Structures are given as structure tokens and as C-alpha cells.
Structure 1
Amino acid sequence: MKQKAFEQDSGLRLHGGYRIAVVRSLEDVGPCLTDWEALARSAGEPNVFYSPWALLPALEHLAGDKRFALLFVIRPGGPDAADRPVLDGFFPLLEPAGCALLPLKVARMFRHRYCFSVAPLVREGREPAVMRAFLRWLQAHRRQYPLLLLRDAPADGPLAAALRSALADEGRHFHEGARRSRALIEPGDDVEDYLGRALSGKRRKEYRRLGRRLAELGELRLRVLQPRGEDLGAWLSAFVALEAKGWKGQSRSALGCRAACRRYFEEVATAAYARGQLRMLELSLDGRPLAMLCDFLAPPGAFAFKVAFDEDYARYSPGALLELECIRLLHEQKAQGIRWMDSCAAPEHGLSNSLWLERKPLCTFLLSSGSLLADCWVELYPYGKRLKGCWRRYQARLPDWLPSWSRTAGG
């Protein structure tokens, strides 16, 4: 760790034995890249979206005019010159903004449309100490960061346990929202056994029939992006074109519809490929892509990033057929250290929920940084949510013939 680069920041303080440095511009990140990369590989809860090669392009292309603060939690070195400082934690924050239910400004973990985890990077085994240091930093900056919202954070695991323990030890007020879950896969010893538990015999037979029907139309081929010697640009262009061809293109939500989104995707995929952390699959018919998927690897985990399929062939379910091949490949990669894969899908996603047996529990935390006003609003927050829910149900019962202003005002 290059300590001099951090000592230039006025946010450097000692918190529970840790020094916390704050970086607010991309130009100042350079000196910490090596240690940040090492931390991403050593995190107890892997989060590929907070690795520097994935987060920095997002800050450059997707953050817009939003202000951010990158918190580096540093364990100081000892008197021995060889005992150098160690980066144990990384928390990327969006600077506080207003919230509909709260009069106080709320800071959030940085998240964009293609970021599916807000788990901070914390070195395995250091979770309790890092979480305590982070909470003490928030308290020291409680005027600037009165509240912190962690939306869809991991509900279980060492990070969540350390956060709850640190909140109790520091006597902080917080609200933990209702849990929900999304699909997760933990490959077993036998892929056919896994698919047999996930799908009924009738559905497996139907997928085999659809595969045969497709093969009757031409040469059906499965390709896997190889670690080297591939034309990555061709793979990425094909994926962007396939996604834009469907409903995402029509709704202007596809990667290719916004120049900034496409640049982000190309930079992140290129960086992941260079590190051996990109996996892409393609199901093609006579050389024409029918379905493609793109995943990021972060051993012992993996994250499903994007999937696209040709809607002209929707009756053959090419997306589902490719997902089945993905499950088979995951079982093969178990020997390479991939023990689980996060679907990154919405909790109600039908296909993922039907093919992936396991679930990742998520919840939302609202934390007070320690000020009296923030403590009060955290205590009142659940009642505000209930009141908002009641108001929405009341509006839903209003007759459709009422003018829109009446429905907004409650009649």
C-alpha cells in the first residue's frame, strides 16, 4: 500500500485501529489499484462489481453527475519496514441525496443499472473489525452522512453477521427490511442429478425435443469463449446486436442503445477477459447467434451478467437451452474452484427460479450514523413505509373515472 497517496486526503483518520482514506476523483485512484485488486481476490464475500476493473468504468461512464466517495479501510503497518499497511476493506458510496420517506439525506452504496451486488469488499476474517471501523467513520462524519441505505444487501453470511454485531456493539439504531431472495446455483457432484431435481421428467423431455427441432433447421452449435486466441471484439459485437434485436432494443434498454452503456460493457468485458474472469456462451444456428450469455467469474463465486436470445426463435426456447448448457458447464468448473453462481436476476424471474435450485437471501438495511435526528427517523421509518403502503392501496381502490389530480390527492 502506498501510504503517501492516502495521507494527502483530509478524510484520513484512525478508527478502531484502522485508517480510512477517502478518494473522490478517478484521478486519485491510481496508487491504490494494486492493493484494491488484491483485496477483491481476498474478499470473504466476493463482489465482482466492486473490483476496480468493473467499478472504475462504471464511475466513468454511468455515474453521470452523481458524486461518489471511495472509502479504503487500511490496517496500519508495524515498526518493521517489511510490515507494510494492508487494505482490508473497500466501501464505494454515493454521496447523500434526498429520499421520499426521509427528510434527512441518505447515502447509498454505489449502484448502477448493471451492478447486482452492494456487498463491500472486506478481507476474509477481518469482517468484524472492518465493520466497526466503518461505523465509527460514519459517526465521525454524521453531519455529512446522517443515514446510510444498503438496498438488497446480503442477508446471511460473514458480512451480514459482522454488520449486525458491529451495530449492536456500537449501539447504533438501524432498520432491517423484509427479506427476499433470488436464484442461486451451487453445483453438485452430478449435473444430471441436479437437473433431475430442478426439472420434471416432462420438462426435460420437452427441452430435448426443442433441441432436436432446432437441429433439424441447420447446424446447431454451442461455442464457449476460450481463454486466449479469440476475437473478443466479435463476441461482444454479436452480443450487443443480439440483445438490441429484441424487446430490450425496442424499449431502449439494451446495451447498444446508449453509447455510455456500450463503452462500459466493452471495457468491463475486456478487462475481465484479460484476467480470466469472463465467460461467454453462444448457441448458434448456421453461424447465426440464437442465444448468448455473459458471466463474470470471481472464485469461489460467479455472477450471471447478461443474457440475450433471438425472439424470432422464441418457440424453441433457445435461452432456456443455453441456460441448461450453462448449468452443465458450471458443474464442470466446480473442479476449478467455482462453488456457486449468483443469477443476479429479479426475485420473481421465472426461468432462473425454475432451473436454479438454491436461493440467495437479501434484505435492506437503513443505518443511522449516530445523530439524534437520524436515530429518530430510523425508528419512525417502518411506520412511514406502512403509511405509504396504505396510501397506495387507497389510491388503487379509487374509481378509474376520477381525474388524475383527484387520484393523486386522494379525491
Structure 2
Amino acid sequence: MIRTLDADLLEAWDALALATGAPVFARPGWLRAWATAFGRLDDLRALTVHRGGELVAVLPVVGGRAAVRTPVNSETAMIVPVVADGDAAAELAQLLLARRAGVVDLDAVLADDPLTTQVRRTRNPVHATVRCRSPYVDTSGEVDAYLATLSKSRRKEVRRRERRLEEMGELTFEMDHGTGDDLGARLEEGFRLEAREWKLAAGSAIVSSPARVAFYTAGARWAAEQGVLRLAALRVDGHAFASGYCLEQSGTLHFLKLGMDDAYAKYGPGLMINLRMIEHAFARSDLDTFDMLGEFEPYKADLTGTVREQHRLRVYPTPVVGGVQRAATAAAGDLRRAVVARLSAPTRERLLAIKNRLQR
């Protein structure tokens, strides 16, 4: 059943997410911060499965009797259905696919998620695309063994850059839980570092959008209350030149937003703060994964070769109509990718800036 988010459901949902070790992004508090900031709170619903009166599966959705989709925009890290077990995932998929009045649009779901696997088995036409390939590091072993997998030249270069920074002053790394009175100041510092010149030009910086500022501020305050917020910083004599907005839960440190001072670009602050957080995760016995999120960018490829795919699945209501819709969607996607590939980088940035302004 699709339900509105009353207090009883929110409590049961959060309890199920914690009990099953779901990622922090599956918790309703984080999703409500997103929905409130982007004006979607009234649209946010939950598709639920109960067994013996107990909640055993929940999927956040928006939409109504026709199309149903997951609540996704450019600031969505991932969508994770919360399920108690495999049977609950199968029941959730059956309930979802029984809604034959329109398209089911599952975006930002993990390729190996139990619900994703179940949905792929439907006889209805399904159009699947890769949303992103997010890199991660398994931090359950020994840090020295991991560092040995990095290229020798890369390790030497990082050490050389650290020595040059230490010549400028005391080089420190910190991981703050956001529980002090200075949370607002720490967030402003991170937002300032994240607002690099090219991101401001493209309109993709957090501060370029009041909705983004509201989301990451409300999300941080909720996360701090729940004990899952982590704000990382690299400093020289107290001056922050790299920052990380992170969430930690269920053995995983998720790295959402990177900030850096471009005046320090020659020192590789992005690579440096990632390495410090990876070493931090290895040093913690309760952390087994460092999740970089986002796309598999070149600097991330220097640190790991393992990725998790996020998919977008569109399930169409009938084989005949759905087949036509699926073919049209695939053709449009191929055409769009071909056009974008032929554009110059400045043109793509200008188009992105226009898109972001329209979204605001």
C-alpha cells in the first residue's frame, strides 16, 4: 500500500532501517530533509509491506495512481528500499509492479539491491540504464596492504606535497561529529570551499541554490542529532584548504561533498583528504567501507578500482504499449548522449548552468 508519512510509519521505518543495517540514505529523516528543501514533502509517500502487523518493507515514492517514481534529483546520493528479508523484497516488488496504470520509475537504485533484482524478473518491458558507477574502498583489512596497491609514484607525490604543506605550517586532519555549538560555522566553511569557481559558473555549487543550502543544512542537523554526521577538514595552521561532508552508518563512511581551496590546487587537496579519510576508516574496527559516491572520476581511480553501479529502471505497464515506450526512451537517450558527446566542455557547462537556473 502507498501511505502518507504519519508519525507511526516514520518511527517503524526508521527502526527497520537501523535493524537491517540499511545505508543512512534509507532513513526517513534524511529523505524528509530532502523533500522539505526541494518542495516535495507533500508529495513524499511510502510503499509499504506488512507481515503480522509489522512493517517488513518500505520504498520511498512520489506520484499517484498513474506513474510512480522514486524521489530523485541531482542531490540524491542513492535510493535504498528497506526490506527485512528476501521474501519482503519479493512482496514489495509484486506490490510495486501490480500498479499497471502507468510507468514505474526506479531511479538511483543499486544494481544488486534485492528489489532491483526482483523487478528485473518481471514480464513487463523494462528499460535499464546506468545512472553512475560509484567507487568505494574496502577498509576491513590492513591499511599498509591497501597503500601498497597504490602506484609508487603516487605515494611519493603525496608525501612530497605533504612535506611542502608542513613547511607552511602545522598540517592537521580532523573529523568533527557536528555536536558542538559551531555546527553552523563548520557548514558555512565547507560550503565556501565547495563553491569552486567552475561550480559557481555552472550553477552546481551548494550555495548556488537556496534549496541545496537548506537541504545540506537540515540534513546535517538531523545527522548530527542521530550521531551519523562527519565533517572532515585538512588544515594548515588552522586554515581549512579541503573539506568533506560525510555520513557514517552501518560500517560505511559515505563521502557526499568535497570542498577545496583552489589556491592549494597544486597540492592535490582532493586526493589528500580522500587518503586521510581512507586511513581513518582503516583505523576504525567498526568501519569496513569508504564510499566515495558520485561518478568514477580520474582522481578516484587513483585510489580504487572497485565500483557499485546505480541504475534507473523504467517498468512499463503492458508488453505492447510498454515495448513502444521503451524503444522510444532508449532512442531518445542514445540521441541525447550522442549530442552531448559532441559538445565542447564550455558549452556543456553553459547548458548545465541554464538547467540549474531553470530548476531554481
Q: In the superposition, relative to structure 1, how do residues 66 and 247 fare at CA in structure 2: closer, same or farther (>3 Å)?
A: farther
User: Counterparts of 1:55-74 in structure 2 under 5 Å?
Assistant: 55-63=31-39, 67-74=43-50
The answer to whether the 8 A contact 2:93-2:118 is kept is no
Q: Secondary structure at the match of 1:216?
A: helix
Range moving further from structure 2, 249-258 or 54-63 = 249-258
Pick one of 73, 90, 97 that aligns with 2:58: 90
Which has more radius of gyration? 1
Pick one of 67, 77, 100 that aligns with 1:142: 100
Structure 2 counterpart of 1:263: 214
The amino acid of 1:90's aligned partner reads V
Q: In the superposition, relative to structure 1, how do residues 114 and 393 fare at CA in structure 2: closer, same or farther (>3 Å)?
A: closer
Q: In the superposition, relative to structure 1, how do residues 236 and 385 fare at CA in structure 2: closer, same or farther (>3 Å)?
A: same
User: Counterparts of 1:269-288 in structure 2 under 5 Å?
Assistant: 269-288=220-239
User: Counterparts of 1:31-70 in structure 2 under 5 Å?
Assistant: 31-43=8-20, 46-63=22-39, 67-70=43-46
Deviation by residue 1:319-358 (Cα, 9 ceiling, x = unmatched): 211111011011122x11x2223321114x1122221232
The answer to whether the 8 A contact 1:342-1:360 is kept is no
Q: In the superposition, relative to structure 1, how do residues 256 and 212 fare at CA in structure 2: closer, same or farther (>3 Å)?
A: same
Relative contact order: is structure 1 or structure 2 higher (C-alpha 8 Å, sep ≥ 6)?
2
Normalising by structure 1, report the TM-score.
0.74
> Percent same amino acid among aligned pairs?
25
Q: In the superposition, relative to structure 1, how do residues 22 and 341 fare at CA in structure 2: closer, same or farther (>3 Å)?
A: same
The amino acid of 1:248's aligned partner reads K
Q: How big is the shift at 1:110?
A: 0.7
The amino acid of 1:343's aligned partner reads M
The answer to whether the 8 A contact 1:47-1:120 is kept is no
Q: Show structure 2 runs of 5+ residues with no match.
A: 343-360
Structure 2 counterpart of 1:30: 7
The amino acid of 2:10's aligned partner reads L
Structure 1 counterpart of 2:77: 116
* 2: CA distance, partners of 1:397 / 1:342: 28
Q: How big is the shift at 1:364?
A: 2.8
Deviation by residue 1:228-248 (Cα, 9 ceiling, x = unmatched): 556322211211222235432
Q: How big is the shift at 1:376?
A: 2.1
The amino acid of 1:339's aligned partner reads D
Structure 1 counterpart of 2:133: 181
Q: In the superposition, relative to structure 1, how do residues 56 and 293 fare at CA in structure 2: closer, same or farther (>3 Å)?
A: same
Pairing 1:339–2:300 present:
no
Pairing 1:190–2:153 present:
no
The answer to whether the 8 A contact 1:246-1:310 is kept is no
The answer to whether the 8 A contact 2:93-2:115 is kept is no
The answer to whether the 8 A contact 1:190-1:331 is kept is yes
Q: How big is the shift at 1:309?
A: 0.3
Q: Show structure 1 runs of 5+ residues with no match.
A: 1-19, 77-84, 98-104, 399-411
Structure 1 counterpart of 2:280: 329
Q: In the superposition, relative to structure 1, how do residues 172 and 300 fare at CA in structure 2: closer, same or farther (>3 Å)?
A: farther
Deviation by residue 1:64-120 (Cα, 9 ceiling, x = unmatched): 5983432232223xxxxxxxx2211221212169xxxxxxx7432111322111221
Pairing 1:353–2:301 present:
yes
Q: How big is the shift at 1:58?
A: 1.1
Q: Secondary structure at the match of 1:355?
A: coil
The answer to whether the 8 A contact 1:366-1:378 is kept is no
Pairing 1:363–2:327 present:
no
Q: Secondary structure at the match of 1:262?
A: helix
Pairing 1:304–2:304 present:
no
* 1: CA distance, partners of 2:341 / 2:135: 33
Q: How big is the shift at 1:272?
A: 0.9
* 1: CA distance, partners of 2:103 / 2:40: 22
Q: How big is the shift at 1:382?
A: 5.0
* 1: CA distance, partners of 2:94 / 2:64: 16
The amino acid of 2:251's aligned partner reads P
* 1: CA distance, partners of 2:96 / 2:237: 58
Q: How big is the shift at 1:207?
A: 0.8
Q: Secondary structure at the match of 1:119?
A: coil
Q: In the superposition, relative to structure 1, how do residues 221 and 53 fare at CA in structure 2: closer, same or farther (>3 Å)?
A: same
Q: In the superposition, relative to structure 1, how do residues 138 and 292 fare at CA in structure 2: closer, same or farther (>3 Å)?
A: same
The amino acid of 2:110's aligned partner reads P
The amino acid of 2:294's aligned partner reads A
RMSD over equivalenced CA pairs, Å: 2.9
Q: Secondary structure at the match of 2:148?
A: helix
Q: How big is the shift at 1:394?
A: 8.5
Structure 2 counterpart of 1:406: none
Q: Secondary structure at the match of 2:109?
A: strand
Q: In the superposition, relative to structure 1, how do residues 283 and 230 fare at CA in structure 2: closer, same or farther (>3 Å)?
A: farther
The answer to whether the 8 A contact 2:194-2:206 is kept is yes
* 2: CA distance, partners of 1:352 / 1:396: 23
Q: In the superposition, relative to structure 1, how do residues 250 and 66 fare at CA in structure 2: closer, same or farther (>3 Å)?
A: farther
